[in-house]
Amino acid sequence: MAAVVVAILDRDNWSANTDIIVVADITRRRLTWVPRDLWSPLIHDRVNAAFAKGGGALLLEALAGLGFAAESAVCLRRAASEGALVDASVSVPVSEPLDFWYPLTPTSLLQDGRIEVSFRPPRERLTGVRLHQWIGARTMVNGQGTDFHRMGRQIVFLRALIAQGFDFHRALSDPELVRITGEDPLPLLARVRANWRMQVHDWVDDAVIDGKMVLVPRKPKPWWRRQLRRLRDRLKGRRARSISMARSNER
């Protein structure tokens, strides 16, 4: 297996939490967004605190304990990603009207002041602060926003960046803002394409541990339920083929 972790810190210092955690499985051509609030028994905290507690090595170990094994990690301070995107312009598809509350600045708190930001179908051209609003906005005006919606928009954004040939090496231009653990992950990451499978790890449940609202892995379905679902799907397929053949014979 060849897998790499890419993490971006939510503040511009090495003691900050990792706001975005993505596991790139090169062998399976798949990128998985790991929720930052996922509970890690190893560090007895949310997984996004692992890097601040023990650097890239502890982040890799904590993720492995949750089923996301990888050989190397590249962690970026916020300034690295912001610098790479400073003059970026990307068009993203918008499937439905989106309205969010957003802090007055990308790094301030919502309770200290907010503005309403909106995105409208069918597409939006993202530049400057609009780009950061798309990536980071979480609280919807109707109160229904979640971190999973935010990660879904990040997937849309990344696909668009890759498709237009964005130069991701720009995020690595200042070595003081980048830390790599393990073997050099860049040759593997260079193989990622826009048509790869990109998904959010959402097989989780809400929980409260040590007074913190966190996410915990959801128990897998019993084997017999998986088998029953597969049998049901096969029967549906056979029925559809039978109906199609019957209609063809009638003609």
Q: What is the pLDDT of residue 220?
A: 72
pLDDT above 70 (res 249): no
- CA–CA dist 170, 54 (Å, integer): 26
- Pair 105, 133: CB distance under 8 Å: no
Q: How confident is the model over 96-129, as pLDDT tens digits?
A: 999 999 999 888 889 999 999 999 999 999 999 9
2 closest CA partner among 143, 141, 192: 192
Instruction: Please give the share of the chain, as a percent, with pLDDT higher than 90.
Output: 81
In the CATH scheme, what is the code of domain 3-82+167-217? 3.30.420.590
Q: What is the pLDDT of residue 248?
A: 60
- Pair 162, 192: CB distance under 8 Å: yes
Q: How confident is the model over 14-33, as pLDDT tens digits?
A: 999 999 999 999 999 999 99
Question: Residue for token digits 């549906």?
Answer: 236
Backbone φ, ψ for residue 142 (5° rounding): -85, 0
Q: How confident is the model over 190-244, as pLDDT tens digits?
A: 999 999 999 999 999 999 999 999 999 988 766 666 677 778 878 877 766 666 5
Q: What is the pLDDT of residue 214?
A: 97
